[in-house]
A and B are shown apart, each in its own frame.
Chain A
Amino acid sequence: MSELIDPAVAERTLARALANGGRFAEVFAERRHGFSMSIDESRIEAVQSGAEEGAGVRVVDGGTTYFAHVDGLDPDDLERAAGEAAAALRGGRRQPRALEAVAVAPLPIEQPPEEVSAQRKATLLRELDERARGQGKEIAQFTSSYAEARRQIAVANSDGLLTGDDRTRTRIGAQAVARRGDAVETGAETLGAHRGFELLEDDPGQIAEQAARKALTLLDAGPAPSGSMPVVVGGGFGGVLFHEMTGHGLEADHIQKGASVYVGKLGEQVAQPLLNAYDDGRLPNEWGSDAIDDEGAPTQKTQVIEDGRLTAYLYDRLTAERDGVASTGNGRRESFRHLPIPRMTNTYIAPGESTPEAMIAELEKGFYAVSFGGGQVDPATGDFVFGVSEGYLIEGGRVTRPCRGATLIGNCLEALMAIDAVGDDFFMKTGICGKGGQKAPVGTGQGHVRVGAMTVGGTEL
C-alpha cells in the first residue's frame, strides 16, 4: 500500500481535507490495470489494455459528504483534491489522528495474469471457439471474451487507519448462436473468480460447450407459458433471485431512506424456516470476495436470514454510524471516482435438504428456470423481474420441453415466503451488479430452489 501512497502524503492530504472542519476524512488511492480480448468469427480481436490511477478524497460533516477525485497520485494533485472536497465547508480546522498502518493479506493469486503471455490467452480463446463449434453444425456464431483486472488500493482516514489491498480478478465468457432454418437461439456461460490465471487451468473450454448446448437446446423451444405457477430455479446463478429479491432490500442505505420493503422487519419471519442465507465477502477467492472493503473494513460473513428470520442488514461506514452499529464490511466503490455505498459481496442461500429431482417430481404443472440472463428489483416496492435464459415446462412431475423468452415477475416479500424447497446441490456463480451508477463484481449462489407460486410472463396465453 505504501507504494501507492506515502504515509506522510496521506497525512498531509487528510489534514488539508479537514482544514475547514468535518468529522471524518478519507483518501482512497487506486491503481488499475486491465487487459482483455475477444474472439469473434474465429478471429482474435478487441485486444486492449488499460492503466489508470487516481485518488478520491471525501470529507464528512453532519449528514453531508464532500467528495473530489483526481487522476494520478501526484502529492500536489491529492492535496488539491482535498482542498476541493473541503471547499464548501466553513468550520474550524480539525486534526486527523496519526496514521497507523494495518497490514492486510490480499487473497492469494498463484499465477498473476500479467505474467502470462497474451498469446497464451489468445490460444485459450481459440480452444473455446473450437469446442463450441464442435458441438454441432447448427452453431452459427460464437464469441468469447477474456478479461483480467488488477486493483491495488490504499485507504487512509482521519481515524488513523492506513491500509490497502491488492486484487486480481479473471473472467471468461462465452456466447453461442445456434441457427436451424429461421429459428435462432443464443446461449451464454461465464467463469470468473478473484484469482489469477490458475482459474483457467482446469477445463475452461467447458463453458464454451455449455453455452453452445444451451443455444442448441433452445432450437427446440416453444413459447413460454404465462400466468402464476410453481417455479423451480436452478442452482448457482439462480441465486440472483435472492440477490435481487432480498439482498438489495437489505442494503442499509435503502433501509434508512424507507426505500425497502424490509424496513422494520429485522427479527421477523420473512421466509419458511428451511431458509438460511448469507452475504460473505470472505469466501476463499470467490468472485465477490476481497480481504477488506473499499473503506478498509475487513470483509465478513453475515447471516442475513436464519431459519427464515431476517437477522441483519448490510452496512458501509456511514450507514453503520447512523444506526450505531459496526460496518459489516460492505462499503464498496467501483473506482476512485466513486463514493463507497453499501453493496453485496457474495450472497447466497445455504444448501438445504431437498433435491432438484424431488422438487420437480412433486409438480403437476410448473416452470423450471435453469438460469437467468439477469434481474432487476425496485427495493422500495419490492417488485422484481428476471429474464430467463434457459427455461423448461414441467408437466406431470417431469421436465417436458424448453421454452423461449420467459420472464419471472413478482414481489419480494411474497416470493421469499413462498420458497418451499431448498436443494443440496449448492454452487456459486459470478455476476456484475449495478447500483447507483456503479458496477461491482458479486457472487451469487444456491442449490435448486422452489418458489410455490410466481408469475411467468411468456407469450402463450
Chain B
Amino acid sequence: MSDLSATAGRAVEAALAAGAGAAEAYASREGGREVRVHGGEVESLTAATQSGIGVRAWIDGRVGYAYGTDLSATGVTAIAARAAEAAAVADEDEFAAPPQPAPVEALLGLSDPSVEVWTTAEAAQLALRVERTALASDPRVVAVEQVVYADSSERVAIASSTGLAGEYESSDCFAYLQALAEGEDGRETGLGFGLARGPGGLEPEAIGAEGAARATAMIGASKPASRSCPVVLDPTVAASFAGLIGGALSAGAVQRGRSPFAGRLGEELAGEALALRDDGRDPAGPASAPFDGEGLPRRRTDLIEGGRLRSFLYDTYTANREGVASTGSAARQGYRSLPSVSTSNLVVAPGALSFEELLAAAGEGVLVTDVAGLHSGVNPVTGVFSVGASGRAIRAGALAEPLREFTIAGDLISMLGAVQAAGAEARRVPFGGSVSTPPLLIGELAVSGS
C-alpha cells in the first residue's frame, strides 16, 4: 500500500473514532508545471506540488465533509474530526449512505511518461514554437497575447469504512494561445489549443496555426441580420452545448426539479442524427479513471441513443433515491470538493457528412465558431439560452464573410430536436468538461444581430 492510501485509511479510522458511523477519504498528490510565453520570451515558469485530503463522514443519514492540506498524523485526525462535526449539523436524509464496494477494473494508458521525461526547458521550447508558428503563419497576426503550456501528474487514493480501496495515477497536458490579428477596425483574437496525456502528444504547429487562422478569419467581421436560420456549430461550440446538456442530465438536477430533462426519460428528443454518451473509461479521455470520485467503477453510459433519452447520470446518493445503480458519475474538483454528479468524457457520435457537405446541407445560414457568456446566458434549470457568438456566414452552402457581435438563442430541448446532421470528423475539446464531438447542423436557431 502506498503512503497516500495509508493516509486515506488513517483518516477513515480517525473519522470513525470521532463518532462517524461510516467514513470515506479521498487523498491526492499532484505535481505539475506551467510555462507562459509572450514575445519570444518566457514570462513565467511555475513548479507546483500540492496534496490534500477530503473526508466524508456519515452519522446515520447526516453527511459532513472536511478537507485540508496537513497530511501529518495529527493533521489528518483533525480533518476527520471536523468532518464528523460537520455531519452533526446536517439534516438527516434517508438516501444518504456510503457507497458499497464494486469490482473495479484497472485502466491502462492514463499516464504518459513524456510528462516526466521532458525538461521544463523543453516544455518552454514547445510553447515558444506555438507562438512562432502563429506569428509566421500570416502577416496579419501581429502578436500573441500569451501561450500557456501546463502539465501535471496526479495520484489519487480512496478508502472507506465500507471496504472501498483504490488508487491510480494519471497525467495531463495542454497548451493554448490567444493570437492577435490586426483588423480593419481594431484587433481580432483567435484561440488555438491542444490537449494530450503528455507533451509528446501535443502538436505545437497545429496549435499555433489554429490560433492564427481563427484570429485572421474574423478580420472585417460584421453583424448578421436578425433572423431564424440553419446554424452549424463547430466542434468547440458544439462541445459547450453538449456540456450543458450533460450537466442537465445529472440525476441530481433532475430529481430536484432543476433540469429541463426532468420527466422526459424514454422520450424521443432528437432525430436519429444525434447520439450522446458518457464514457469514463476511454483511455484518451482526460476525465477517464478506473473509478469515480467515490470509488465506484467508471463506465460507459448511453444518454441519447436513436433519438431517445436513455439514461441520466447517477452517483450513489441519486441512485439510492431512485433505487437504481450508480453510473460511476461522482466527480470531484480535487480534494476540496464533495463528490457530486457530473459527466466524465462526453462523446457525441460522428455522422457521415464531411464539413463541406454539412455546410451544403445548411444552405443559407451561419457557422458559429465561438460563443461567449455561457455562464450567464444559459439557464440550466429551464434550458433557455441566449449567448454571444461569432463565426461566418454560410451562403449557397459555402463559407462567406465573417460575422461577429450577434447572439444565438433558444432552449436546449428544442435545439436537440433541431439537430439535423453530425459531421464525420470529431474533435476532443476541453470546453463543457471533456467532450469529443463533430460539428453539428442545427436546422433552425434564432440569430440576433442588426
Task: Answer yes or no: are A and B bound together in one complex.
Answer: yes
Residues of A within 8 A of B (CB): 37, 40-41, 43-54, 62-72, 84-85, 87-88, 118-119, 122, 140-141, 177, 179, 184-186, 224, 226-228, 257-259, 261, 337, 339, 372-376, 378, 380-387, 389, 404-407, 409-411, 455-459, 461
Bound: A66/B43 CA distance, A: 9
- Given A45-B93, A257-B146, A381-B189, is A455 in contact with B86 using a C-beta cutoff of 8 Å? no
Given contacts A44-B90, A45-B91, A455-B448, contact A258 B187 (CB under 8 A): yes
A52 x B66 contact (CB < 8 A): no
| Stretch of B158-166, B202-210, B371-379, B421-429 on the interface side | B371-379
* Interface contact B43-A63, CB-CB below 8 Å: yes
Kindly identify which residue among A43, A47, A461 contacts B87, using a CB–CB cutoff of 8 Å: A47
Complex interface: stretch among B2-10, B264-272, B298-306, B382-390: B382-390
**Contacting residues, chain B, for A44 (C-beta < 8 A):** 89-91
Partner of A186, one of B45, B227, B379: B379
Q: Mark B124-142, 1 if CB is under 8 A from A, else 0.
A: 0000000000000000001
**Besides A40-B256, A63-B43, A387-B378, 20 new A-B residue pairs in contact (Cβ under 8 A), listed by A number:** A37-B86, A47-B63, A48-B64, A85-B47, A257-B38, A259-B187, A373-B377, A374-B373, A381-B187, A385-B376, A387-B373, A387-B386, A405-B379, A405-B386, A405-B409, A407-B377, A407-B407, A407-B409, A456-B448, A459-B410
Partner of A380, one of B48, B85, B189: B189
Task: Tell me if B178 and A259 are in contact (CB < 8 A).
Answer: yes
A376 touches B376 (CB 8 A): yes
Per the 8 Å Cβ criterion, residues 139-176 of B in contact with A are 142-143, 145-146
Decide if B51 is an interface residue (CB 8 Å cutoff).
yes
Name the A residues within 8 Å of B398 (CB-CB): none
How far does the Cβ of B112 sit from chain A's closest Cβ, in whole Å? 22
Query: Hey, which chain B residues are within 8 Å of A50, CB to CB?
Result: 66-68, 336
Residue of B nearest to A41 (CB): B256
Complex A-B, nearest 7 residue pairs according to Cβ-Cβ distance, in ascending order: A457-B407, A387-B376, A385-B388, A374-B376, A385-B373, A226-B448, A373-B376
Does A409 contact B257, Cβ atoms closer than 8 Å? no
The residue that B386 contacts in the complex, of A257, A259, A376, A406, with Cβ under 8 A, is: A406
Are B373 and A51 in contact, with the CB atoms below 8 A? no
26 contacts between A and B (CB under 8 A): A46-B63, A47-B63, A48-B65, A49-B67, A53-B69, A64-B45, A65-B43, A65-B44, A67-B47, A87-B47, A118-B86, A118-B89, A258-B187, A374-B373, A378-B372, A381-B189, A383-B390, A385-B376, A387-B386, A405-B385, A405-B386, A405-B409, A407-B373, A455-B449, A455-B450, A458-B409
Contacting pair A461 B226 (CB below 8 A): yes
Q: Which residues of B contact A37 (CB under 8 A)?
A: 86, 89-90
A372, B376: Cβ atoms under 8 Å?
A: yes
Per a CB cutoff under 8 Å, which of A47, A226, A459 touches B65?
A: A47
Q: Are B48 and A459 in contact (CB under 8 A)?
A: no
CB-CB under 8 A from B332, the residues of chain A are none
Contacts of B384 in A (CB 8 A): 404-405
Please give, as numbers and ranges, the residues of chain A lying within 8 Å of B227 by CB-CB distance: 461
- In the complex, which of the residues B65, B70, B186, B256 contacts A51, with contact meaning CB atoms closer than 8 Å? B70
Given known A-B contacts A64-B44, A85-B47, A226-B446, A45 and B63 have beta carbons under 8 A apart: yes
Contact A68 B47 (CB under 8 A): yes
Contact A88 B120 (CB under 8 A): yes
Which residues from chain A contact B338 at a C-beta distance below 8 Å? Answer: 46, 48
B residues 353-373 near A (Cβ < 8 Å) are: 372-373
Of A88, A119, A179, which contacts B89 at CB under 8 A? A119
With contacts A48-B67, A69-B48 taken as known, whether A179 is within 8 angstroms of B180 at the C-beta atoms is: no
Report the separation of the CA atoms of residues A76 and B15 in the bound assembly, to the nearest whole angstrom. 30
Chain B, residue nearest A457 (CB)? B407
For residue B340, which residue of chain A has the nearest CB? A46
Closest Cβ–Cβ distance, residue B115 to chain A (whole Å): 17
- In Å, the complex CA distance between A380 and B51 comes to 36
* B407 and A455 contact, CB distance less than 8 A: yes
Minimal Cβ-Cβ distance residue in B for A413: B186
A contact residues around B405 at 8 Å (CB): 383, 409-411, 455
Complex contacts, B379 vs chain A, CB 8 Å: 186, 405
Chain A residue with minimal CB distance to B65?
A48
With a 10 A CB-CB cut-off, give which of A65, A226, A227, A374 has the most chain B CB atoms: A226
Indicate if B58 sits at the interface (CB-CB under 8 A): no
Q: Which residues of A contact B375 (CB under 8 A)?
A: 373-374, 376, 387
A381 and B188 within 8 A (CB)? yes
A224 touches B386 (CB 8 A): yes
Are the C-beta atoms of B65 and A46 separated by less than 8 Å?
yes
A313 CA to B432 CA, complexed, in Å = 33
Q: Which residues of A contact B82 (CB under 8 A)?
A: 49, 51
B74: chain A residues at CB < 8 Å are none
Q: How far is the CA of A38 from the CA of B106 in the complex (A)?
A: 36
Whether B68 contacts A47 by the Cβ 8 Å rule is: no
Residues of A within 8 A of B381 (CB): 177, 184, 186
A195 to B188 CA separation, bound complex (whole angstroms): 42
In this complex, what residue of B is CB-closest to A42?
B91
For the complex, is B333 an interface residue (Cβ under 8 Å from A)? no
* Closest chain B CB from A306 CB (angstroms): 24
Give the residues from 43 to 86 in chain B that come closer than 8 angstroms, CB to CB, to chain A.
43-52, 63-70, 78-79, 82, 85-86
A179 to B260, CA, bound (A): 12
- How far apart sit A118 and B218, CA to CA, in the bound complex (Å)? 53
B447 to chain A, nearest CB (A): 8
Distance of A294 Cα from B44 Cα, bound (Å):
18
Output the nearest chain A residue to B93 by Cβ-Cβ distance. A43
**Interchain CA distance A283-B63 in the complex, whole Å:** 39
Q: Which residue of the partner chain A has the closest CB to B48? A: A69
Q: Separation in Å of the A151 CB from the closest CB of chain B? A: 14
- In the complex, which residues of chain A have a beta carbon less than 8 angstroms from the beta carbon of B143? 257-259
Contact A457-B186, Cβ < 8 Å, known A186-B382, A405-B385: no
B258 at the interface (CB under 8 A from A): yes
CA distance A445 to B299 in the complex (A): 47
Are A257 and B68 also in contact (CB < 8 A) when A47-B90, A65-B44, A68-B47 are? Answer: no
Residues of B within 8 A of A72 (CB): 69-70
- How far is the CB of A216 from the nearest CB of chain B, in Å? 14
Q: Are B86 and A47 in contact (CB under 8 A)?
A: yes
Q: In the bound complex, how far is the Cα of B91 from the Cα of A244, in angstroms?
A: 40
Contact across chains for B448 and A69 when beta carbons are under 8 A apart: no
A47–B448 alpha-carbon span in the complex (Å): 43
Chain A positions within 8 Å of B226 at CB level? 226-227, 461
Q: A184: nearest residue on chain B (CB-CB)?
A: B382
Q: Which residues of A contact B41 (CB under 8 A)?
A: 62-64
Q: Are A339 and B46 in contact (CB under 8 A)?
A: yes
Known: A122-B89, A381-B186. A407 touches B52 (CB 8 A): no
The docked-state distance in angstroms from the alpha carbon of A458 to that of B377 is: 11
Q: Which of A62, A257, A372, A409 contacts B145 (CB 8 A)?
A: A257
- In the complex, what distance in Å separates the CA atom of A420 from the CA atom of B91? 52
* Interface presence of B228 (CB below 8 A): yes
Q: Which of B180, B187, B258, B448 contacts A461 (CB 8 A)?
A: B448
Neighbouring A residues of B281 by C-beta, 8 Å: none
Interfacial chain A residues near B89, Cβ < 8 Å:
37, 44, 47, 118-119, 122
Q: How long is the Cα–Cα vector from A63 to B86 in the complex, in angstroms?
A: 47
Once the chains are docked, how many angstroms separate the CA of A69 from the CA of B89?
A: 34
| Residue B42 interfacial (CB < 8 Å) | yes
Docked complex Cα distance between A70 and B49 (Å): 6
Q: Which residues of B contact A457 (CB under 8 A)?
A: 386, 388, 406-409, 448
B404 at the interface (CB under 8 A from A): yes
Alpha-carbon gap, A45 to B264, bound state (A):
27
- Chain A contacts for B70, CB-based, 8 A: 51, 53, 72
Q: Is the CB of B382 within 8 A of A71?
A: no
Q: For the complex, what is the distance from the CA of A60 to the CA of B69, rounded to whole Å?
A: 27
